[in-house]
Amino acid sequence: MQKEQIENLKNELKTAFNDINTLNELENKKVEYMGKNGKITLLGGMIKDIPNEEKKEFGMNLNELKNIFNENYDKIKKELEERIINEKLAKEAVDVSLPGTKINNGAPNILEKIIEEVESVFMSMGYDVVDGPEIEEDHYNFELLNIPKGHPARDAQDTFYVKGEDYLLRSQTSPVQARVMLASGGNKPIRMICPGKTYRRDADDATHSHQFMQIEGLLVDKDVSLSDLKGTFDVIAKKLFGEDCITRFRPSYYQFTEPSVETDISCFVCKGKGCSLCKNTGWITVSGAGIVHPNVLRNCGYDPAVWTGFAFGFGAERLAMLKYGINDIRTFYQTDLREISNFDRRDDE
């Protein structure tokens, strides 16, 4: 009787796995045959009713049945798992021959880059980088800097006034000198630069812009002379324009410095021989500078009998135009992305 059942189950197992398509169905088969109430398990439970001499054979047959089940089970399981993996791989396949998605790279703003370069040179010489207001008081922008109301030196800086005569869009970064000196209390040395926006009522053209960036600098200490300014300027020029760059001073006039100078660098294109960039002079002017006027020191709380200092003002656009061969200042304010990424490339040349 049990023999017959074993034979039947053997036959059944031949086709039992035929229509299994998922791991779930396979697990159900396991329960059906090998679970607690599974067909093979129940059959095994009958061993206790079998005469002793037949037990051995029954056991062997039962094992054979279990082996058949397990072999089938393992084989189907492997096949199903492989199929699942292959399906997953096929779904997630990447065609490496497809053209990639183009990613537009950003480029740093060229003025920002020049300013960071100048800042890092000055910081390496112990200067602080400070900020000042763009809407400024006449008092700081002109009066403390030795340019009283009605003085003709104001004409050189045609100014945007806001709110009457006392407030304006700063026409230079020099008021930040005055602010820093006043904040320092007249008894400490100062080394600072202030890069920032400035405004003048200029008609925009290739070399003028009603908004532009200056980089102001001030050093106050004891026994500061024009040769300290020259040495500092030399270092900056070499760092920005190359080790073979040489510098010179030309006399000039600013109300807030005495003596005042224009600072020139040797032309980095023709190395001083004369070319169109330097208008055949061999020299390029890059900033105004001078020894801080005693009136300015006094106005800002420093005793000119004890303290001296030098100051300078660079035009950031001018530096960038020279360095990157840009011939129109309006380029900086037209935000043409092609120009911006173009500057970035030029740096690698």
User: Where do contacts with ligand DAH occur on this chain (CB under 6 A)?
Assistant: 172, 174, 216, 254, 257, 288-290, 311-313
The whole-angstrom separation of Cα 59 and Cα 54 is 9
- Nearest approach in angstroms of CB 218 to ligand DAH is 7
Whichever of 249 and 333 has its CB closer to ligand DAH, that residue is: 249
The whole-angstrom separation of Cα 31 and Cα 281 is 99
The whole-angstrom separation of Cα 2 and Cα 235 is 105
Q: Tokens 């065609």 identify what position? A: 95
Whichever of 272 and 294 has its CB closer to ligand DAH, that residue is: 294
Residue nearest to ligand DAH (CB): 313
- Nearest approach in angstroms of CB 172 to ligand DAH is 4
Here the tokens at position 223 are 């026994």
Q: What are phi and psi for residue 328, nearest 5 degrees?
A: -140, 120
Whichever of 190 and 289 has its CB closer to ligand DAH, that residue is: 289
β-sheet with 161-162: strand ranges across: 135-137, 167-169, 161-162
β-sheet with 247-254: strand ranges across: 128-129, 190-199, 211-221, 308-315, 283-292, 257-266, 247-254
The whole-angstrom separation of Cα 145 and Cα 170 is 13
3-state secondary structure of 211: strand
- Nearest approach in angstroms of CB 327 to ligand DAH is 21
Whichever of 110 and 311 has its CB closer to ligand DAH, that residue is: 311
Q: Which of 238, 241, 279, 285 is nearest to 262 (CA)?
A: 285
- Nearest approach in angstroms of CB 216 to ligand DAH is 5
Whichever of 39 and 318 has its CB closer to ligand DAH, that residue is: 318
Here the tokens at position 87 are 């399906």
Whichever of 209 and 257 has its CB closer to ligand DAH, that residue is: 257
- Nearest approach in angstroms of CB 213 to ligand DAH is 11
Q: Which of 67, 189, 196 is nearest to 119 (CA)?
A: 196
- Nearest approach in angstroms of CB 291 to ligand DAH is 8
- Nearest approach in angstroms of CB 346 to ligand DAH is 27
In the chain, DSSP assigns E strands to 128-129, 135-137, 161-162, 167-169, 190-199, 211-221, 247-254, 257-266, 283-292, 308-315
3-state DSSP helix/strand/coil percent for the chain, to nearest 5? 45, 20, 35
- Nearest approach in angstroms of CB 151 to ligand DAH is 14
